[in-house]
C-alpha cells in the first residue's frame, strides 16, 4: 500500500519537475530578465524612472525587429549575418533619398523594402535552391552590402531625414514611442502567426526535419525562402526604426546588430539548427541585452568592460539553455 | 562471382589514390583557379610578376596563412573560431606593450602574447566541451571578451613600441623571400604532416565526419576538440606576433577582419563547414588566391571599398563551388552504395 503511494508520490514529483522544466523553457528568459530588472533597480535608483524605462524600450526596438526576423531564419535551421550591413544600407539610402522632404518618405520606404526583398531573394536562390552554406553565403552578401555602402557614401554620413520621419521615434502613442509600438505589433503578428497559422506550423516542421516535412507535402523551399525574405525585410524595417531614432544614415549603423540579434534569439531559447523556439523568448533576449547595456551606462561602467560582460552573458545565457536541452534529451 | 568483386576493388581504389594526393594539395580545381588568377593578374598588372611585387604577395600571405591553418583544424571538426581576430589584436598589443622598444623584452613579450592566445583557445575548447553551446556563439562571446580586455589594456589607442630587432626580422628577406614567410611555410608543412600522418589528424576527420561514430570508436572527442581550439588560438597569436614585426606600434584593432577572411580562405580551399572533409592543403591555395587578388586590386588601383565588394563576390562563388562539390560527393556515395547493392543482388542471383 505504502509502496504504491510512494510510487504515486514519486510520479507526481517527477511530473511536477517535468512541468517546471517545460515551463522553465518558456519562462526562463523572462525570469532572467526579471532578476536583471530587480537587480538594476536596487543598484541604480534612476533605472526605474519612466524616462529611463521608455528609453530602454526605444533602444530595444530596432534590435527587437531584426531579432524577430533572425528568429524565423534560425527556426528553419539557417542563420543570417548580413542583417547588420542591410540595416546600414537602409539608413544610408534613407538618409540620402528622403532629401528633407516629407513627400519622399513613402517612395524611399518602398525602395528600401524592395532592396530588402532582393537581398532575401538572393539568399533564397543560393541557400535554399543551390543549398550553399547559410553562414558563408550571408557573410558574402554582408561584405557586398558594406562595400556598396562605402562606395556610395564615400564613408561620409547622410542626414537628410525630414522631421516627420523622425516622429517615428519621438512621437508617442499612449506614452509609448511609435517605433516601440511598431516593434510590438510585428512581434504580436509573428507570435500569433507561428502559433496559430499553417505557415507557422510549416516553419517548425521544416526546421525540425526538412525531409519529413517534404514527405508530408510541405513545400519546404518556399517556407525557407519566405523566412529569409521576411528576415531581410524586417532588417530593413529595423534600419528605418534606427534611422528615425538617430536621424543619420551611416555605414557604421547596425554594426554588431547581426551578432546581437543572433545572441538575443539564442538567449531567448530558440535552438540553433531549427525547429524549436518562440518569438516571446527572443523579445526577452533582446530586453536582457538592452537592460544590461542600460544599467552599465547608468553605472558609468567603461564601454570596454561592456564588451567583456556582453561576451560572458552571451555564453552563459546560451549555456543555460543548452544544458537544459541536454537534460531533456537524456 | 569473382568478376564483380574485382571491379568493386578497382572502384574503391581509384578515388582512394586520388584522395591520397588531394589530402596534401587540396582539390585540383583550386590550383587551376589560382593559375587562371595568376595569368589574369599578369595581363592586368604588368609589374605583377616583378620579384619585388611577388615578395610583397608572399609577405601579405603570412598572417592570414598562419591563422587560416589553425582555422582549418577547427572547421575540420565542424567548429569555427570567430575569436581569432580579437586574439591577433591582443597578441599584437601585448607584445608591443611589453617590449616597449627594448630588445631584451622581446622573448618575454612573445611568450606572453603566445600564452594569451593559448589561453583563449583553451577557454574556447573547455567552454564548448562543457556547455555544448554552438562554437559560433562561444567564440563570438570570447571575441567580445578579448576585445574588451585589449581595449581596457590599451585605452583603445596605439600602444607600445617594437624593438629594432623585430623590424629587422619583419622587413628582412632571404633573397626575394621574406624571412617570416619561412615561418608560415614551416607551420603549414607541420600542419600538413600532423593532418595526414598522425593519429590526431585522423581523429580530426573522424570527429568532423561523425562525432557519434568517432566516440564509439574510442576517440576522445573532447580532447581532440580542446587541442584543435588551443592550436587555433595559439596560431592566431603567432599571426599577431608575426604582424607586429612590421608595425611601428601595437594597434588594438590590428586583427580586424581576420576572422571572416580566414574562414573564407578555408572554405575557398574546399574544406566543408560541416566538418570532416578538406584540409590544410586547400587552405594554402585559398590563402594564396585571396592574397593575390588583394595585391592585383591594389596594383590596378581598385579602391578599398570596391575590394570589399569583390571579396564578397568571391565568397559567394566559393560557397556555390563548395555546394556543388558536396552534391557531387553525395551523388558519388549514393552511386557507390546502389552499385554495391546491385552487385550484391547480382551475386546472390548467380549463387542461387
B-chain residues near A137 (CB < 8 A): 315-316, 319
pLDDT, residue B165, reads: 87
B-chain residues near A262 (CB < 8 A): 136-137, 140
pLDDT, residue A329, reads: 38
Could you tell me which residues are beta bridge partners of residue A249? A158
Query: Residues B82-102: pLDDT tens digits?
Result: 999 999 999 999 999 999 888
pLDDT, residue A10, reads: 60
Longest dimension (CA), chain B: 85
Residues 12 through 41 of chain B touching chain A, CB cutoff 8 Å: none
Q: What is the mean pLDDT of chain B?
A: 85
A-chain residues near B329 (CB < 8 A): none
3-state secondary structure of B159: strand
Cβ distance A238 to A87 under 8 Å? yes
Chain A, nearest residue to B307 by Cα: A147
Helix (H) or strand (E) holding B173: strand B173-174
Tell whether the torsion through CA atoms of B319, B321, B324 and B329 is positive or negative: negative
In whole angstroms, how far apart are CA B265 and each of A241, B100, B291, B311? 36, 34, 10, 11
Which residue in B127, B267, B316 is closest to A126 by CB distance? B316
For an interface test with A, the pick among B83, B211, B256, B315 (most A C-beta atoms closer than 10 Å) comes out as: B315
B-chain residues near A304 (CB < 8 A): 148, 151-152, 156
In whole angstroms, how far apart are CA A93 and each of A77, A234, B304? 31, 16, 21
B305–A307 C-beta distance less than 8 A: no
Is B345 domain-assigned?
no
Radius of gyration of chain B (CA): 22
Q: CA of A116, closest CA in chain B: separation in Å?
A: 17
B-chain residues near A147 (CB < 8 A): 305-312
pLDDT above 50 (res B2):
no
A-chain residues near B142 (CB < 8 A): 311, 315
pLDDT, residue B12, reads: 40
pLDDT, residue A198, reads: 87
Q: Are strands A176-177 and B177-178 parallel, antiparallel or unpaired?
A: unpaired
Domain hosting B271: range is 56-327
A319–B327 C-beta distance less than 8 A: no
Chain center to CA of B206: 18
Is B339 domain-assigned?
no
Longest dimension (CA), chain A: 83
B319–A137 C-beta distance less than 8 A: yes
What pTM, to 2 d.p., does this model score? Answer: 0.81
B318–A136 C-beta distance less than 8 A: yes
pLDDT above 50 (res B162):
yes
pLDDT, residue A167, reads: 76
Percent of chain B with pLDDT over 70: 87
pLDDT above 60 (res A83):
yes
B-chain residues near A323 (CB < 8 A): 131-132
Exposure string (b/e) for A3-30, b if CB count within 10 Å is 16 or more?
eeeeeeeeeeeeeeeeeeeeeebebbbb
- Name the domain count of chain B: 1
pLDDT, residue A60, reads: 92
Q: What is the pLDDT averaged over residues A199-228? A: 88
- pLDDT-derived band of residue A21, with 50, 70 and 90 as boundaries? low
A311–B144 C-beta distance less than 8 A: yes
Is B322 domain-assigned?
yes
Residues 209 through 248 of chain B touching chain A, CB cutoff 8 Å: none
Is B39 domain-assigned?
no
Which cell numbers hold the place of B95? Answer: 607584445
Residues ≥6 apart with Cβ < 8 Å to A254: A83, A84, A85, A86, A87, A88, A90, A91, A238, A239, A242
Residues ≥6 apart with Cβ < 8 Å to A88: A145, A146, A149, A239, A250, A251, A252, A253, A254, A255
- Can you give the CATH number for the domain in which B306 is found? 1.10.3470
Is B12 domain-assigned?
no
Query: Residues B190-228: pLDDT tens digits?
Result: 999 999 999 999 999 999 988 889 999 999 999 999 999
Q: What is the pLDDT averaged over residues A268-277? A: 82
Q: What is the pLDDT averaged over residues A288-297? A: 87
Cβ distance B152 to A302 under 8 Å? yes
Lowest mean pLDDT among A274-283, B69-78, B114-123: A274-283
pLDDT above 80 (res A27):
no
Query: Residues A223-268: pLDDT tens digits?
Result: 999 999 999 999 999 999 999 888 888 888 888 888 889 889 988 8
B131 shares contact with chain A (CB less than 8 Å):
yes
Q: Are strands B177-178 and B173-174 parallel, antiparallel or unpaired?
A: antiparallel
A-chain residues near B305 (CB < 8 A): 147, 150-151, 155
The residue ranges of DSSP E strands in B48-139, in sequence order, are none
> What does the alpha-carbon distance between residue A204 and residue A214 come to, in Å, rounded to a whole number?
12
For an interface test with A, the pick among B78, B80, B137 (most A C-beta atoms closer than 10 Å) comes out as: B137
Is B22 domain-assigned?
no
Is B97 domain-assigned?
yes
B290 shares contact with chain A (CB less than 8 Å):
no
pLDDT above 80 (res A12):
no
B329 shares contact with chain A (CB less than 8 Å):
no
A146 shares contact with chain B (CB less than 8 Å):
yes
pLDDT above 80 (res B19):
no
> What does the alpha-carbon distance between residue A170 and residue A178 come to, in Å, rounded to a whole number?
7
B-chain residues near A311 (CB < 8 A): 140-146, 148
> What does the alpha-carbon distance between residue B187 and residue A66 come to, in Å, rounded to a whole number?
42
Q: What is the pLDDT averaged over residues A80-98? A: 89
Give me the residue label for grid cell 531584426: A66
Is B279 domain-assigned?
yes
Q: What is the pLDDT averaged over residues A280-292? A: 91
Q: CA of B145, closest CA in chain A: separation in Å?
A: 4
Which residue in B137, B141, B315 is closest to A139 by CB distance? B315
User: Interface pTM (ipTM) of the complex?
Assistant: 0.77
A-chain residues near B302 (CB < 8 A): none
Amino acid at each position: 500500500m505504502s509502496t504504491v503511494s510512494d510510487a504515486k508520490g514519486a510520479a507526481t514529483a517527477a511530473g511536477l519537475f517535468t512541468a517546471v522544466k517545460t515551463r522553465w523553457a518558456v519562462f526562463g528568459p523572462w525570469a532572467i530578465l526579471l532578476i536583471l530588472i530587480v537587480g538594476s533597480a536596487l543598484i541604480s535608483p534612476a533605472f526605474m524612472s519612466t524616462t529611463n524605462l521608455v528609453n530602454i524600450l526605444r533602444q530595444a526596438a530596432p534590435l527587437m525587429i531584426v531579432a524577430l526576423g533572425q528568429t524565423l531564419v534560425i527556426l528553419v535551421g539557417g542563420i543570417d549575418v548580413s542583417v547588420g550591413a542591410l540595416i546600414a544600407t537602409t539608413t544610408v539610402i534613407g538618409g540620402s533619398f528622403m532629401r528633407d522632404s516629407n513627400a519622399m518618405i513613402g517612395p524611399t520606404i518602398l525602395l528600401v523594402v524592395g532592396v530588402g526583398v532582393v537581398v532575401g531573394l538572393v539568399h533564397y536562390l543560393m541557400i535554399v535552391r543551390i543549398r550553399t552554406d547559410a553562414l558563408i553565403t550571408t557573410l558574402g552578401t554582408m561584405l557586398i552590402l558594406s562595400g556598396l555602402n562605402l562606395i556610395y557614401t564615400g564613408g561620409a554620413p547622410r542626414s537628410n531625414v525630414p522631421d516627420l520621419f523622425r516622429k517615428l521615434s519621438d512621437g508617442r502613442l499612449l506614452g509609448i514611442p511609435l517605433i516601440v509600438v511598431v516593434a510590438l505589433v510585428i512581434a504580436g503578428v509573428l507570435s500569433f502567426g507561428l502559433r496559430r497559422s499553417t505557415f507557422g506550423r510549416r516553419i517548425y516542421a521544416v526546421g525540425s526535419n526538412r525531409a519529413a516535412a517534404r514527405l508530408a507535402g510541405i513545400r519546404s523551399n518556399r517556407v525557407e525562402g519566405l523566412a529569409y525574405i521576411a528576415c531581410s525585410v524586417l532588417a530593413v524595417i529595423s534600419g528605418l526604426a534606427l534611422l528615425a531614432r538617430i536621424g543619420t544614415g551611416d555605414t557604421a549603423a547596425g554594426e554588431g546588430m547581426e551578432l546581437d540579434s543572433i545572441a538575443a534569439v539564442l538567449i531567448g531559447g530558440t535552438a540553433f539548427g531549427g525547429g524549436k523556439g518562440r518569438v516571446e523568448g527572443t523579445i526577452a533576449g533582446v530586453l536582457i541585452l538592452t537592460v544590461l547595456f542600460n544599467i552599465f551606462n547608468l553605472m558609468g561602467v567603461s564601454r570596454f568592460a561592456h564588451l567583456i560582460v556582453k561576451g560572458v552573458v552571451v555564453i552563459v545565457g546560451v549555456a543555460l539553455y543548452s544544458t537544459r536541452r541536454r537534460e531533456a534529451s537524456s | 562471382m569473382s568478376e564483380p568483386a574485382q571491379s568493386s576493388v578497382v572502384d574503391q581504389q581509384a578515388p582512394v589514390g586520388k584522395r591520397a594526393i588531394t589530402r596534401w594539395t587540396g582539390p585540383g580545381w583550386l590550383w587551376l583557379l589560382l593559375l587562371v588568377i595568376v595569368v589574369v593578374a599578369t595581363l592586368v598588372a604588368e609589374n605583377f610578376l616583378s620579384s619585388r611585387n611577388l615578395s610583397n604577395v608572399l609577405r601579405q600571405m603570412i598572417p592570414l596563412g598562419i591563422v587560416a591553418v589553425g582555422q582549418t583544424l577547427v572547421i575540420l571538426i565542424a567548429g569555427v573560431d570567430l575569436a581569432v581576430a580579437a586574439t591577433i589584436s591582443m597578441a599584437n598589443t601585448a607584445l608591443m606593450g611589453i617590449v616597449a622598444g627594448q630588445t631584451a623584452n622581446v622573448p618575454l613579450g612573445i611568450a606572453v602574447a603566445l600564452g594569451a592566445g593559448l589561453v583563449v583557445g583553451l577557454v574556447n575548447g573547455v567552454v564548448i566541451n562543457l556547455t555544448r553551446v554552438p562554437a559560433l556563439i562561444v567564440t563570438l562571446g570570447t571575441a567580445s571578451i578579448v576585445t574588451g580586455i585589449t581595449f581596457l589594456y590599451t585605452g583603445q589607442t596605439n600602444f607600445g613600441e617594437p624593438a629594432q630587432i623585430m623590424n629587422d626580422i619583419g622587413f628582412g628577406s632571404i633573397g626575394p623571400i621574406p624571412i617570416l614567410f619561412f615561418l608560415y611555410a614551416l607551420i603549414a608543412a607541420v600542419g600538413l604532416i600532423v593532418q595526414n600522418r598522425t593519429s590526431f589528424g585522423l581523429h580530426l576527420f573522424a570527429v568532423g565526419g561523425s562525432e557519434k561514430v568517432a566516440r564509439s570508436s574510442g576517440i576522445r572527442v573532447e580532447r581532440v576538440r580542446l587541442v584543435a581550439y588551443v592550436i587555433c588560438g595559439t596560431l592566431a597569436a603567432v599571426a599577431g606576433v608575426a604582424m607586429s614585426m612590421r608595425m611601428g606600434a601595437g594597434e588594438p584593432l590590428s586583427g580586424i577582419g581576420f576572422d571572416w577572411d580566414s574562414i573564407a580562405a578555408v572554405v575557398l580551399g574546399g574544406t566543408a563547414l560541416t566538418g570532416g572533409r578538406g584540409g590544410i592543403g586547400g587552405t594554402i591555395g585559398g590563402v594564396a588566391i585571396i592574397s593575390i587578388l588583394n595585391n592585383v586590386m591594389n596594383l590596378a588601383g581598385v579602391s578599398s571599398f570596391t575590394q570589399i565588394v569583390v571579396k564578397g563576390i568571391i565568397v559567394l562563388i566559393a560557397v556555390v563551388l563548395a555546394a556543388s562539390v558536396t552534391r557531387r560527393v553525395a551523388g558519388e556515395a549514393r552511386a557507390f552504395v546502389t552499385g554495391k547493392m546491385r552487385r550484391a543482388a547480382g551475386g546472390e542471383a548467380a549463387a542461387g
